[in-house]
Chains A and B, each alone.
Chain A
């Protein structure tokens, strides 16, 4: 309900979105993100198979319409400790060295990107580091055999992995609008933005929350 209210408020405040083919800002405080969708996404719960073959709880927000196919998968690695403890207790041949969660979380972006490289039948035309609001991540851009294009963004913050995937038909404008729209929120729903000191250690800066409803500095 709260999710719906925020979407409606975003549409009301950003009047342009109403007559701009219904792209609007979608806010989810449970999974702590804001992203642009061309309509109200469907939400489903899945298990995400991690690099160490654990089943991590995840939610998929998706929409498939004439504008293309768009999905946001949020993998909840905050559950990784519990999942691995259960694996260690129940599987006799599962070797637990105490580093499982560290390995899973620190490698989550690389693993997700590797999965795209493995399964694509298209040509990867871009494959590089990316950041959004200082939150580290990775982008892949793929031209599929049918000419459609898939743009991917993968980011990790607070043990939540965000995987954005947008695919548009051949000859449609590439789906940067979706790929580049992620914002990450904290537990209070305030937008997160990091900067980095001279030793590349992140520190958080204050950012107006108004972006969720009105706008923000680029």
Chain B
């Protein structure tokens, strides 16, 4: 590539590569804290702007036992990362790691899904 063309390309790339701004603020989540949850999927809401997994969790802490709402990335982002609407289904056993809501209710910002081989895959 010619130097001039390369320069134009780099400038154009820089102009269009502004950091992504989230659809909404995540201030209502503790983004520096993590919670590990294990349970059974109650429902998957494969919708934009965010996907949601409802997970039934039996936890030794009473406050953490019950149905959780796990906020995931958009449908578009998840598809790009290889997820499909059927990757996680109602009735599946699921382990996740996520950021809990500040208000103490059972909501969590994904986060990662722990796969069968023990590895983690982003759901964010």
Contact = CB atoms under 8 A, between A and B. Distances in A.
Interface of A: 14-17, 20-21, 23-25, 36, 125-126, 128-134, 139, 141, 143, 149, 171-177, 180-183, 193, 195, 205, 211, 214-218
B46 A16 contact: yes
Interface of B: 18, 20-25, 27-28, 42-50, 52, 54, 66-69, 71, 73-77, 79, 85, 101-107, 124
Q: SS class of chain B's interface: helix, strand, loop or mixed?
A: loop
Contacts of B74: 211, 215-218
A141 B68 contact: no
Given A125-B103, A173-B54, A218-B23, A181 B49 contact: yes
B45 A21 contact: yes
A181 B12 CA distance: 32
A126 B25 CA distance: 14
B24 A20 contact: no
Contact of B23 (A20, A175, A176, A216): A216
B47 A218 contact: no
A182 B25 CA distance: 12
What are the nearest 8 A-B pairs in CB distance?
A: A16-B46, A215-B76, A125-B103, A173-B69, A16-B85, A126-B103, A215-B75, A174-B105
7 contacts: A21-B45, A25-B48, A130-B28, A132-B23, A176-B71, A215-B75, A217-B20
Contact of A141 (B22, B49, B103): B103
